[in-house]
């Protein structure tokens, strides 16, 4: 899922996102709540209509962003009081108000309000945080069930149905992750996310926690790993059984001139590209690689042209989406021809 924080994937128009094959976008509740405001989006017919996006949208609960405002927030049983990074004004998110905000925005998939446990944290702190997330998950679900039909409009797909996903926490502790998964499943959601990772822990630990948490999540429901990763990592996680991922990396890196290609990472700002007439990635079919040279992309970046950000982002998104298309293709081939049971069948 490309990240469209403020109802926009920075620098890329919606028709190009469609052309790239984007099926679902992520929007950030915290940012949309502050600007332009949930009520404004709701009055304009919801996020799909407002941003003219006919495909699926997922909104986060706002929890992760609020928790990253370390100096600007206060957590209680009831919820989180925080100060806006824009103007310092004071706001309050609870499981109930986070549900109201996401119901008002109208995304297809919305997320339970959770506490993202910081890293590092001791076991006592990880447990307390996990317990709080479980109580908030129950409150999120209850409020969602009571109010989900109050949306007066229908999204582009012609349905106002929203799905609320639960989030597994538990820090870096395998036992707590197991308990969090089991008790979140007990509450019951149509999909489950693994939260609280990519918060500064070493990558091997991320993988270990993902792997051990996945064992306890149902395989017949979407399993969503929040906030990862590099092209290599998303293939690895898909291989472990993750179905959904989101990351700002392809778009944020693009704006800093860091491009992912089939031949590895390229920093387009480097002088060695100044006279290079070759495409950015000879194996990429995107509109940027089909049309422009590395020399031109380097010139745009060095000259601080807006077009540099646009073209770099289009390519990086294309590379990520191609990567996931290849993953899906190999999964479908595996099902038809490459599954272990087919391979191990004795010859007649
Ligand atoms: Zn390309």
Does domain 14-247 match CATH 3.20.20.105?
yes
Q: 173, 246, 281, 322: which one is catalytic?
A: 246
289 alpha carbon – ligand 1 mean position (Å): 4
Q: What pLDDT is recorded for position 341?
A: 33
Handedness of CA 49, 53, 59, 65 (dihedral sign): negative
* Percent of the chain's residues with pLDDT above 70: 93
298 alpha carbon – ligand 1 mean position (Å): 14
Q: Please, is 187 exposed, middle or buried when counting C-beta atoms within 10 Å of its C-beta (0-12, 13-18, 19+)? A: middle
pLDDT digits (tens, 9 = 90+) for 55-92: 999 999 988 888 888 778 899 999 999 999 999 999 99
307 alpha carbon – ligand 1 mean position (Å): 15
CB count in 10 Å sphere of residue 142? 14
Instruction: Tell me if 210 sits within 8 A of 216, measured CB to CB.
Output: no
Q: What pLDDT is recorded for position 159?
A: 66
Q: What pLDDT is recorded for position 324?
A: 96
Q: According to DSSP H, which parts of the chain are helical?
A: 14-20, 29-34, 38-43, 47-50, 63-67, 95-105, 123-147, 174-187, 203-214, 231-240, 249-255, 287-291, 294-302, 306-333, 340-343
Q: Respond yes or no: is residue 87 known to be catalytic.
A: no
Q: 60, 173, 281, 322: which one is catalytic?
A: 60
Domains of the chain, residue spans:
14-247, 253-333
281 alpha carbon – ligand 1 mean position (Å): 6
Q: What pLDDT is recorded for position 219?
A: 96
262 alpha carbon – ligand 1 mean position (Å): 10
Q: Respond yes or no: is residue 246 known to be catalytic.
A: yes
Q: Please, is 301 exposed, middle or buried when counting C-beta atoms within 10 Å of its C-beta (0-12, 13-18, 19+)? A: buried
Give the tokens for residue 298.
């380097």
Instruction: Tell me if 210 sits within 8 A of 237, measured CB to CB.
Output: yes
pTM: 0.94
Sites in the chain below the pLDDT cut of 50 = 337-348
SS3 state at 164: strand
pLDDT digits (tens, 9 = 90+) for 141-150: 999 999 998 8
Q: What pLDDT is recorded for position 338?
A: 40
Q: What pLDDT is recorded for position 274?
A: 98
């Amino acid at each position: 899922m490309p990240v469209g924080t403020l109802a926009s994937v920075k620098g890329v128009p919606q028709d190009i996102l469609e052309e790239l094959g984007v099926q679902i976008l992520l929007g950030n509740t915290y940012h949309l709540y502050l600007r332009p405001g949930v009520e404004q989006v709701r009055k304009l017919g919801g996020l799909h209509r407002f941003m003219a996006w006919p495909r699926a949208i997922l909104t986060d609960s706002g929890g992760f962003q609020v928790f990253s405002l370390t100096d600007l927030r206060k957590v209680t049983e009831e919820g989180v009081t925080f100060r806006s990074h824009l103007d310092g004004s004071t706001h309050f998110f609870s499981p109930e108000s986070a549900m109201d905000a996401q119901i008002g925005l109208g995304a297809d998939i919305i997320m339970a309000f959770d506490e993202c446990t910081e890293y590092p944290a001791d076991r006592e702190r990880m447990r307390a945080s996990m317990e709080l997330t479980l109580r908030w998950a129950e409150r999120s679900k209850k409020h969602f069930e009571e109010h989900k039909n109050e949306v007066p409009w229908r999204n582009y797909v012609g349905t106002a149905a929203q799905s609320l996903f639960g989030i597994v926490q538990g820090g870096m502790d395998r036992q707590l992750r197991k308990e969090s998964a089991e008790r979140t499943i007990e509450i019951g959601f149509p999909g489950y996310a693994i939260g609280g990772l990519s918060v500064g822990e070493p990558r091997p630990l991320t993988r270990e926690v993902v792997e051990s948490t996945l064992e306890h999540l149902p395989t017949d429901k979407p399993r969503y790993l929040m906030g990862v990763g590099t092209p290599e990592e998303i293939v690895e996680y898909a291989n472990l059984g993750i179905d959904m991922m989101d990351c700002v990396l392809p778009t944020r890196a693009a704006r800093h001139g860091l491009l992912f290609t089939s031949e590895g990472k390229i920093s387009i700002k480097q002088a060695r590209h100044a006279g290079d007439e070759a495409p950015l990635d000879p194996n990429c079919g995107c509109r940027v690689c089909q049309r422009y040279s590395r020399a031109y992309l380097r010139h745009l970046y060095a000259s601080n042209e807006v077009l540099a950000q646009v073209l770099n982002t289009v390519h990086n998104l294309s590379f990520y989406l191609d990567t996931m298309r290849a993953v899906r293709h190999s999964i479908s081939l595996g099902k038809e021809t490459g599954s272990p049971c087919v391979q191990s069948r004795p010859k007649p």
